[in-house]
C-alpha cells in the first residue's frame, strides 16, 4: 500500500506495479502542496510535491498478522531556504522510535527526496500499524508512506519437519520433539542474538546520539562560522566595492596626474623660453641702463632746463591771465566808451514794385559815414538824424555784422548783450537778424563768431553754448523749440540776483555751427505769422533768440555765465494804419504796448530812475538782466526809403533817436576824446604785449619740444657713435697691424741700406785700386779699352732706362699707398707712423745729399754719366717710401752690383775718361742733355702723384750733379765740408755707415 501523504492519486505510476493511493489513514495534520521541482524524486517525483504536516499520525487497520516493511518518503518543501533545525521530529512505529530528531534540510537540503526504506514492523493479532510523528522543533512532515508485507516462501518450497543440511543440501527429516527443541534452541539463540544486537544497537544508538549531538554542536558551530563567513563575505564585498571605487578614483587621479604633468611640462617649456627671452631682454635692458646712466648727466641738465622752462611757463601763464583780465577790462571800457546802448540805422533798398510805382526815396546818405541820415520830410525840409552807424541800402550783411561782432567778444568775456531789430514791418528786421541761407544774418553770424573765438581761446577757456528760441505773442511766451505744444503757461522767474529765466524752456546745447543752423530753422519754422494788409508776411510777434554761454577759465578756474539776446521785434507800425479789428487789433495793441515799454525801460535806465518798469511787458521782463548795468545793447532801427512809408520811418527814427539820445545823455556826449585815445593806446599796447607774450609762450613750448627732440636725437646719435667707435676700433686694430708690418719693412730697408753702404764703400776702395792699376796700365792697351768702355756705356744706358721705368712704376705705387694712408689713417698711431716716415725721409735726404756727392765723384772717376747716379738715388728714395716694392728694389741693387762688377773689370776706364775730360765738351754735353730729360720725368711724376719734395730734391740733385760734372774739384772740397757737417750731426747708423 502506497499512500501519497497530503496529495491525491499519482498518475505517473500507471506503468508501475505499485498504485499510489490518495492520502488516507491519517489522523490530524494538514495537507500541503508545492509546484517546486523535486530533485532525485525517482519514478514518482510528484509524490514529494505534497505532504502532510502538523500534528498527525497514520493508522492502518485490518492487516493480517506478520511482518511488514514500511518505507517513509520525506522532502523539505516548506523551509526551502533553511536554515537547519527549523524542522526536527521523531518517528514512532508501533510506539517504537524508528527515527530520532530527523532534520530533512540538514541531511539533503530543500526540495530533495529522502527515503527511509524497509523498516520492519511486526503486526500482531490486532492487525494494526500505527505510525506516529512527533515534533521536537517545528512540525513533522511526510510526503509518502509505503507498507509492504514481507515475502513468504512458496508453500512448495517450505516443507514442514525437514531440515536442509548445510553441507550436502540433503533434506533431513526431524521429529516434532526435535523440532520443538530446535525451535527452542533457535529461539534461545535468536533471543541471545537479539539481546546482543539490542545491546549493540543501544551502544550504537548512544554512539549515534553522541555523534549526532556532536554533529549538531559542530553544525551549530559551523553555522556560526558560516554566519561569520557570511559577514566576512559581505565585508569583503563592501571592501571589494570600496577597492574598485578607490581603484577607479586612483585611475582618475592617475590620468589627471598625467594630463597635469603634460600640461606642466608644456608650461615649464614655455616658461623656460620666456625666461630665456627675459634674460636676453634683461641683458639688453642692462645695456640700455648703462647707456642711460651714461646719458644721465646730460638728461639732468635737460631736466633742469625743462624745469626752468616750466617755471618760466608758469610765470608767463600768470602774466597771461593778468593780461587777459586787463584786456577784458580795457575792452569793456572801450565798449562802454562807445556806449552801452548803440543804435544803428539800416535802410532797405527800394522794392521793384516801389520803383515801378515811381515812389521817390526820402533818404539822404551823404553823411552816412559820419552816422548822419537825412530824411526829406515833405518839400525841401531835410531832417537830420544821428546814429552810431548808418547803413545804406548798398551795405550788405557782412558790413552790418562787422559792427555788431565786438559785442560777441563781450559775451565771451562774461557780459550780457542784447541785440534787437526795430522797425516797421517789411523794412528788413528779419532780413537783418535771420537773413537767408545764402545771405545769413546777425543771428547766424554771431553764433559763428562765438564758435570761432571759442576755438581760438580753447587753450585757456572752455565754453558751453546753449540756445533757446522764444516768441512773445499777445503777451504770452511760446517756446519755439518745444517739440510738443504744452498748455502750461511759461512764466519768467528770478533765479538769483540779476538772473532771470523761464522754467521749462528748451535749452538746446549746440556744439557747432551746423547744429545752430538747424536750431534756428526749427525756431523760425515754428514762429507765428499773421497777415494784414500792410505786408502779407508781417510778423506780429517778437522773436527772441537767447544764447547762453558758460565760460570756464582754465588758468584760474573762474566760471562765468552770460546771455546774448537776439530779438527780431514785431512791426512797429501804428495801429491806425493796419486797419485791423478783433484779434488782429489785440495783436497790434500788445505789440505797441511792448514796444513803448521797451522805450520806457531804456529811458528809465538812462535817467537812473529808482524804478525801472521791466514788468510792464513780457518783452522787457525777459530782457531784464540784459538791459542796463554792465550789459550792452545794440538796436538796429530798420527803415524804408520809400516816400510811402515816410510817416512810419520818421516814427521809427524818432524812437531810435530817443533811445540813443537818452542813453548817451549830455554828460556822456562830452567824453574826452583824448582820454579815449589814451585808452585806445593802452588797449593797443596791452594787445601788443599780449600777442608778444603769447608768441614767447609758443616759442618756449616749441623750444621745449625741440629740446625733447634733440635729447632723443642725441640718444640715437650716441648709440650710432658707439657703433661707429667699435667699428673704428676694429679698423684701428687692422691699421696698427699694418703699421707694424710697415715698421718691419722699414727695418728691413734700413738693413738693406747698410748693406748698400758697405757695397759702396767696397766700390770706392775698388775704384781707388783700379785707378792705381789704370795709372800703371795707362800706356799699354788704349784702343781695346776704349772700345770696351763704349760697350759698357751702352749697356749702362739700357739698364738705366729699364731702371727708370721700374722706378716710375714703383713711385706710382708709393703715391697710391700714401694716398690710401692719408685718407684712411686718422688715428694717432698712424700719424705717428707718418711722422716716423717723414723723419726717416729727412734722414735719408741727408744721406742722399752725401750720396749724391760721392757717386758723382765716382762717376767722374769712372766716366759714368750723372743720369746713372741719379737713378741710384731714386732707387734709394723709392726704397724708403715704398716698402712693398722691396723685392723690385733688391733686384735693382743686384743690377747695380753687377754694374759695379763690370766696372771693376774695365782696366783702362780711367784713361778713357781722362781723354774725354780733355775733350771737355763730351762730358758737359752729356750732362746738359740729361738735365731736361730728368726734369721732364720729375715733372711728370709730380703731376701724377703731387709730391713736391721729389721735385725740389731732384732739382737740387740736378744742379749739384751739373756742378760736380763741371767743377769736380770744387765739389770734392764741398763734399769734404759736408762730411764735416754730417759728422757733427751724426745720429743714425745709416749716416755713420755712409760716412765711413
Contact positions vs ligand ADP (CB under 6 A): 348-349, 393, 423, 425-431, 537-539, 571, 638
Question: 10 Å Cβ neighbour count for 239?
Answer: 12
Ranked by CB distance to ligand ADP, the top (closest) residue is 428
638 binds, among Mg ion, ligand ADP, none (CB under 5 to 8 A by kind): ligand ADP
State the minimum distance, in angstroms, from the CB of residue 441 to Mg ion: 11
CA–CA separation, 624 vs 614, rounded Å? 6
Question: 10 Å Cβ neighbour count for 656?
Answer: 24
Q: Write the burial class of residue 299 (CB in 10 Å: 0-12 exposed, 13-18 middle, 19+ buried).
A: middle
> CA distances (Å), 767 to each of 214, 425, 773, 990, in order?
158, 139, 10, 22
Strand partners, 545: 469, 566
CA dihedral 473, 567, 422, 364 (to 10 degrees): -150
Residues in touch with Mg ion (CB under 5 A):
429-430, 539
State the minimum distance, in angstroms, from the CB of residue 400 to ligand ADP: 8
Q: Pick between residue 539 and residue 930 the one whose CB is nearest to Mg ion.
A: 539
Q: Pick between residue 56 and residue 422 the one whose CB is nearest to ligand ADP.
A: 422
Give the DSSP H/E element, type plus range, for residue 438.
Answer: none
State the minimum distance, in angstroms, from the CB of residue 482 to Mg ion: 21
DSSP string across 706-756: HHHHHHHHHHHHHHHHHHHHHHHHHHHHHHHHHHHHHHHHHHHHHHHHHHH
State the minimum distance, in angstroms, from the CB of residue 324 to ligand ADP: 37
Q: Pick between residue 172 and residue 398 the one whose CB is nearest to ligand ADP.
A: 398
Tell me 211's DSSP state: H
Q: Pick between residue 435 and residue 855 the one whose CB is nearest to ligand ADP.
A: 435
State the minimum distance, in angstroms, from the CB of residue 583 to ligand ADP: 19
State the minimum distance, in angstroms, from the CB of residue 347 to ligand ADP: 8
State the minimum distance, in angstroms, from the CB of residue 612 to ligand ADP: 28
CA–CA separation, 403 vs 971, rounded Å? 108
Contact between 550 and 567 under an 8 Å Cβ cutoff? The reply is no
Q: Pick between residue 439 and residue 925 the one whose CB is nearest to ligand ADP.
A: 439
HSE-up of residue 753 (Cα within 13 Å, Cβ side):
27
Q: State CA 969 to chain mean position distance.
A: 96
State the minimum distance, in angstroms, from the CB of residue 577 to ligand ADP: 14
Cα torsion angle, 320, 322, 325, 331, sign: negative
SS3 content of the chain, % helix, strand, coil (to 5): 60, 20, 20
428 binds, among Mg ion, ligand ADP, none (CB under 5 to 8 A by kind): ligand ADP
HSE-up of residue 779 (Cα within 13 Å, Cβ side):
1
Q: Pick between residue 52 and residue 540 the one whose CB is nearest to Mg ion.
A: 540
β-strands 66-75, 113-123 pairing: antiparallel
Give per-residue burial for 704-742: e unless 16+ CB within 10 Å, then b: beeeeeebeeebeeeeeeeeeeeeeeeebeebeebbeeb
State the minimum distance, in angstroms, from the CB of residue 349 to ligand ADP: 5
Largest Cα span, the chain? 218
Phi, psi of 472, rounded to the nearest 5 degrees: -105, 110
Contact between 621 and 602 under an 8 Å Cβ cutoff? The reply is no
668 binds, among Mg ion, ligand ADP, none (CB under 5 to 8 A by kind): none
41 binds, among Mg ion, ligand ADP, none (CB under 5 to 8 A by kind): none
Q: Pick between residue 389 and residue 429 the one whose CB is nearest to Mg ion.
A: 429
State the minimum distance, in angstroms, from the CB of residue 569 to ligand ADP: 9
Q: Pick between residue 425 and residue 815 the one whose CB is nearest to Mg ion.
A: 425
Q: Pick between residue 626 and residue 638 the one whose CB is nearest to ligand ADP.
A: 638
Phi, psi of 842, rounded to the nearest 5 degrees: -60, -45
Q: Pick between residue 441 and residue 825 the one whose CB is nearest to ligand ADP.
A: 441
Q: Pick between residue 335 and residue 538 the one whose CB is nearest to ligand ADP.
A: 538
State the minimum distance, in angstroms, from the CB of residue 373 to Mg ion: 22
Bond prior to 83 in cis (omega within 30° of 0): yes
Ranked by CB distance to Mg ion, the top (closest) residue is 430
Amino acid at each position: 500500500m502506497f499512500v501519497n501523504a497530503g496529495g491525491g492519486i499519482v498518475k505517473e505510476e500507471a506503468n508501475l506495479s505499485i498504485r499510489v493511493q490518495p492520502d488516507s489513514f491519517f489522523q490530524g495534520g494538514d495537507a500541503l502542496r508545492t509546484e517546486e521541482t523535486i530533485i532525485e524524486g525517482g519514478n514518482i517525483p510528484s509524490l514529494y510535491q505534497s505532504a502532510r504536516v502538523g500534528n498527525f499520525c497514520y493508522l492502518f487497520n485490518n492487516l493480517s498478522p506478520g511482518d511488514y516493511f514500511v518505507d517513509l518518503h520525506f522532502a523539505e518543501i516548506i523551509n526551502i531556504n533553511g536554515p537547519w533545525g527549523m524542522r526536527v521530529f521523531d518517528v514512532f512505529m508501533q510506539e517504537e522510535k524508528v527515527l530520532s530528531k530527523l532534520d530533512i534540510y540538514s541531511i539533503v537540503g530543500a526540495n530533495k527526496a529522502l527515503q527511509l526504506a524497509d523498516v520492519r514492523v511486526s503486526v500482531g493479532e490486532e492487525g494494526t500499524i500505527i505510525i506516529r510523528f512527533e515534533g521536537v522543533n517545528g512540525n513533522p512532515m511526510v510526503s509518502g508512506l509505503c507498507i509492504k508485507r514481507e515475502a513468504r516462501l512458496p508453500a512448495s518450497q517450505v516443507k514442514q519437519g525437514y531440515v536442509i543440511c548445510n553441507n550436502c543440501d540433503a533434506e533431513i527429516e526431524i521429529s516434532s520433539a526435535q523440532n520443538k527443541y530446535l525451535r527452542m534452541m533457535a529461539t534461545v539463540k535468536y533471543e541471545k542474538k537479539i539481546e546482543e544486537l539490542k545491546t549493540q544497537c543501544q551502544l550504537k544508538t548512544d554512539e549515534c546520539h553522541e555523534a549526532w549531538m556532536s554533529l549538531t554542536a559542530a553544525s551549530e558551530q559551523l553555522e556560526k562560522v558560516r554566519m561569520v563567513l557570511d559577514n566576512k563575505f559581505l565585508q569583503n564585498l563592501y571592501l571589494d566595492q570600496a577597492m574598485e571605487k578607490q581603484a577607479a578614483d586612483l585611475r582618475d587621479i592617475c590620468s589627471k596626474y598625467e594630463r597635469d604633468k603634460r600640461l606642466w611640462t608644456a608650461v615649464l617649456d614655455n616658461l623656460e623660453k620666456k625666461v630665456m627671452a627675459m634674460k636676453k631682454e634683461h641683458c639688453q635692458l642692462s645695456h640700455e641702463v648703462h647707456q642711460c646712466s651714461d646719458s644721465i648727466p646730460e638728461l639732468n641738465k635737460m631736466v633742469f632746463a625743462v624745469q626752468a622752462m616750466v617755471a618760466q611757463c608758469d610765470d608767463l601763464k600768470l602774466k597771461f591771465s593778468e593780461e587777459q583780465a586787463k584786456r577784458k577790462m580795457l575792452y569793456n571800457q572801450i565798449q562802454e566808451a562807445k556806449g552801452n546802448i548803440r543804435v544803428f540805422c539800416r535802410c532797405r533798398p527800394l522794392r521793384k514794385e516801389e520803383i515801378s510805382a515811381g515812389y521817390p526815396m526820402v533818404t539822404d546818405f551823404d553823411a552816412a559815414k559820419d552816422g548822419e541820415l537825412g530824411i526829406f520830410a515833405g518839400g525841401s525840409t531835410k531832417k537830420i538824424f544821428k546814429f552810431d552807424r548808418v547803413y545804406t541800402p548798398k551795405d550788405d550783411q557782412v558790413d552790418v555784422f562787422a559792427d555788431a561782432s565786438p559785442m560777441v567778444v563781450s559775451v565771451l568775456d562774461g557780459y550780457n548783450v542784447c541785440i534787437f531789430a526795430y522797425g516797421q514791418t517789411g523794412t528788413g528786421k528779419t532780413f537783418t537778424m535771420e537773413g537767408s541761407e545764402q545771405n545769413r544774418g546777425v543771428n547766424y553770424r554771431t553764433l559763428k563768431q562765438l564758435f570761432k573765438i571759442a576755438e581760438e581761446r580753447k587753450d585757456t577757456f572752455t565754453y558751453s553754448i546753449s540756445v533757446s528760441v522764444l516768441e512773445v505773442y499777445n503777451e504770452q511766451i511760446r517756446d519755439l523749440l518745444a517739440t510738443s505744444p504744452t498748455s502750461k503757461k511759461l512764466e519768467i522767474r528770478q533765479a538769483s540776483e540779476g538772473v532771470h529765466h523761464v522754467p521749462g524752456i528748451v535749452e538746446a546745447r549746440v556744439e557747432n555751427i551746423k547744429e545752430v543752423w538747424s536750431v534756428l530753422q526749427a525756431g523760425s519754422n515754428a514762429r507765428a505769422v499773421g497777415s494784414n494788409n500792410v505786408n502779407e508776411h508781417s510778423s506780429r510777434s517778437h522773436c527772441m533768440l537767447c544764447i547762453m554761454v558758460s565760460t570756464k577759465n582754465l588758468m584760474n578756474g573762474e566760471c562765468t555765465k552770460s546771455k546774448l539776446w537776439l530779438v527780431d521785434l514785431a512791426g512797429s507800425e501804428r495801429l491806425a494804419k493796419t486797419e485791423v479789428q478783433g484779434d488782429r487789433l489785440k495783436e497790434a495793441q500788445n505789440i505797441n504796448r511792448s514796444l513803448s515799454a521797451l522805450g520806457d525801460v531804456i529811458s528809465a535806465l538812462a535817467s537812473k530812475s529808482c524804478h525801472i518798469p521791466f514788468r510792464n511787458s513780457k518783452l522787457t521782463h525777459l530782457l531784464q538782466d540784459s538791459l542796463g548795468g554792465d550789459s550792452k545793447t545794440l538796436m538796429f532801427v530798420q527803415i524804408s526809403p520809400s516816400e510811402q512809408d515816410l510817416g512810419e520811418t520818421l516814427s521809427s527814427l524818432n524812437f531810435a533817436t530817443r533811445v540813443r539820445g537818452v542813453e548817451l545823455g549830455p554828460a556822456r556826449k562830452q567824453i574826452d576824446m583824448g582820454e579815449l585815445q589814451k585808452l585806445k593806446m593802452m588797449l593797443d599796447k596791452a594787445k601788443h604785449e599780449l600777442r608778444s607774450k603769447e608768441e614767447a609762450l609758443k616759442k618756449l613750448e616749441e623750444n621745449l619740444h625741440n629740446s625733447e627732440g634733440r635729447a632723443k636725437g642725441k640718444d640715437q646719435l650716441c648709440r650710432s657713435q658707439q657703433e661707429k667707435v667699435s667699428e673704428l676700433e676694429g679698423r684701428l686694430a687692422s691699421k696698427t697691424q699694418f703699421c707694424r708690418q710697415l715698421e718691419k719693412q722699414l727695418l728691413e730697408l734700413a738693413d738693406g741700406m747698410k748693406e748698400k753702404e758697405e757695397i759702396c764703400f767696397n766700390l770706392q776702395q775698388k775704384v781707388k785700386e783700379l785707378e792705381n792699376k789704370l795709372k800703371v796700365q795707362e800706356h799699354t792697351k788704349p784702343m781695346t779699352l776704349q772700345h770696351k768702355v763704349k760697350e759698357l756705356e751702352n749697356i749702362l744706358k739700357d739698364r738705366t732706362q729699364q731702371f727708370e721705368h721700374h722706378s716710375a712704376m714703383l713711385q706710382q705705387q708709393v703715391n697710391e699707398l700714401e694716398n690710401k694712408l692719408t685718407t684712411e689713417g686718422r688715428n694717432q698711431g698712424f700719424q705717428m707712423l707718418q711722422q716716423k716716415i717723414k723723419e726717416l725721409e729727412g734722414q735719408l735726404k741727408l744721406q742722399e745729399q752725401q750720396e749724391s756727392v760721392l757717386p758723382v765723384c765716382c762717376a767722374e772717376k769712372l766716366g759714368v754719366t750723372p743720369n746713372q747716379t741719379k737713378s741710384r738715388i731714386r732707387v734709394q728714395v723709392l726704397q724708403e717710401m715704398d716698402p712693398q716694392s722691396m723685392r723690385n728694389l733688391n733686384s735693382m741693387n743686384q743690377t747695380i752690383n753687377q754694374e759695379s762688377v763690370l766696372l771693376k773689370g774695365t782696366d783702362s776706364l780711367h784713361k778713357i775718361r781722362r781723354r774725354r775730360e780733355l775733350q771737355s765738351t763730351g762730358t758737359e754735353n752729356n750732362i746738359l742733355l740729361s738735365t731736361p730729360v730728368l726734369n721732364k720725368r720729375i715733372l711728370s711724376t709730380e703731376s701724377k702723384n703731387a709730391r713736391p719734395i721729389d721735385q725740389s730734391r731732384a732739382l737740387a740733385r740736378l744742379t749739384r750733379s751739373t756742378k760736380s760734372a763741371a767743377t769736380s774739384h770744387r765739389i770734392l772740397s764741398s763734399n769734404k765740408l759736408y762730411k764735416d757737417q754730417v759728422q757733427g750731426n751724426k745720429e743714425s747708423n745709416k749716416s755713420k755707415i755712409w760716412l765711413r
